Amino acid sequence: MDALVSTEWLAGELGAFDLRVVDATQVMEDTGRDPRAEFDAAHIPGAIFMDLAELVDSANLIANMAPSAEKFASRMQALGLGDGSRIVLYDNAPHKTSARAYWLLRMFGAHDVAILDGGLAKWQAEGRAIESGVTKLRHRHFTVWADAEPVRSKQDVLDNLNTKSAVVVDARGTPRFTGEEAEPRPNMASGHIPGSRNLPYDQVFNADGTYKSVDAIKAAFEGAGVDLSKPMITTCGSGLTAAVLLFAAHLTGKKDVALYDGSWAEWGADPQTPKAVGAA
């Protein structure tokens, strides 16, 4: 299974014994939306709902940090996402949150994971089948292991300021990156990690919400001043849209990409970390 699958492909695979379709929609709290209620009202047949807002380290003061491997495995087992499953993720979120679910699943040991190109919006626009109600869940064993390669800590990013071994790419909108626009979180500095490049996450999508071609994604990275020959660290506000850039980089065949999970929620709140303003 490719990492990115089409609506046509998924329509042909629905009902396969090993296929698990997962709605990974997450929205900001101030939108007034309830992703779980929306899922109950309309979802792809046979899909289950993954609550990304709950898949966090609740003991960490930094917003949206990844959970422990044990917590993740427990939640996946309860969702029926077990060993041998082919998992297709989709969302109906402006921040394309299925990419965060993809990153978590791959980091914690799931091998056959894909994202539905265009998400629920494209599926519905094509008039494909939708169902409502609560999906029955069956526990399955999920063998978990934590791969440290796809994640970077604040210390890793601080060290990189000196070594410059990796290029840091920020997925936030340009006004937040430059510091012209205040951060939405209170008591948060503005600006960006020194030396980082800015590629707003929406620049890797077509107008219909599908991912751009591999060549166009490469051009977007290069246009932002990203040296694709170097290892990459993606960052954003709280690790959501950083996952979009990580996934987009993977689509180009790039393997040496990691996500700074703390992102600006951690970096911007620490008075000791250096900050830059203005264009990259």
The number of CA neighbours under 13 Å toward the Cβ of 136 is: 1
Of the candidates 236, 240, 244, 258, the residue annotated as catalytic is 236
- 43, 45, 87 from 23: Cα distances, Å: 8, 11, 11
CA distance 114 to 24: 12
Q: Are the C-beta atoms of 267 and 154 separated by less than 8 Å? A: yes
Residue 7 annotated in active site: no
Q: Are the C-beta atoms of 55 and 76 separated by less than 8 Å? A: no
User: Side chain identity at 216, as an amino acid letter?
Assistant: A
Residues marked active site are found at: 236
